[in-house]
Amino acid sequence: MRQQCVRVACVVAVLSASLALAPGPALGKRSPSHCITPAGEDLNATFGTRDAFVAPFCTDVRVGDRWRAVLRIAVAGADPVFPSGYAPVHSDLDEDFVAKFVSARYVVDAGTARERSYSFSAGDLIVQTGAIPDGSRFVRWVTPSLHPLRRGDHSVDEYVTLSADFWDGLGLDPATNLIPAGETLGGAVEFNVATP
């Protein structure tokens, strides 16, 4: 009788351990955190990924999630204005930007002990162009999937490198309408990684 109880206890212990290690229904089926743009676009659906997106309008990432930074610029669609002496390479300004786009660099948690940098050539990024309902156009680029970050507050500084000056055609102010040749800070986003 005692031997039988020991065997039963062993079988129960082995089954319990097996169940504890087996993937449950929640593993691998966790619903993604969706990033919705101000225009109502679901970036997770557009790019077909479960990764979190980090953008000025999406600043929450779940612990354990891989993530991607996205940056977008607007350009004139029709009737662009340029300073005297400037001529774009392409008449479509979104294509003009893409032709000059060399690379992007991302600095995560700049100035902290956790600082990390990622650099990607334009060919390694997902680059998209498109139209906005007001008639202007846009270019956006998205990083490959990046490793999960630890819980807490984070930041990402996004730099863009162009082979030549680029004017967006929306005005003549160099502070807001020009991205010069070389590397330029394109944007910075603060975001939070938390347990869902």
Q: What is the DSSP string of 84-111?
A: TT---SSSSHHHHHHHHEEEEEEEETTT
Average pLDDT over residues 56-85: 95
Q: Domains along the chain?
A: 43-194 (2.60.40)
If one compares 86 and 18, the residue with the highest pLDDT of the two is 86
pLDDT tens-digit series, residues 154-165: 999 999 999 999
Which residues 6+ apart lie within 8 Å of 166 measured at CB?
88, 96, 97, 100, 178, 179
Average pLDDT over residues 44-68: 95
Judged against a pLDDT cut of 80, whether residue 23 lies above it is answered with: no
DSSP state of 33: P
Q: How confident is the model at residue 52 (pLDDT cuts 50, 70, 90)?
A: very high
Q: How confident is the model at residue 124 (pLDDT cuts 50, 70, 90)?
A: very high
Please report, rounded to a whole number, the percentage of residues in the chain having pLDDT higher than 70. Answer: 84
Instruction: Work out the mean pLDDT of the chain and round it to a whole number.
Output: 86
Between CA 151 and CA 52 the distance in angstroms is 14
**pLDDT of res. 24:** 31
Average pLDDT over residues 143-170: 97
Whether pTM > 0.75 for this model: the answer is yes
**pLDDT of res. 113:** 96
Average pLDDT over residues 16-27: 33
Kindly state the tokens that stand for 145: 């999937």
**pLDDT of res. 32:** 57
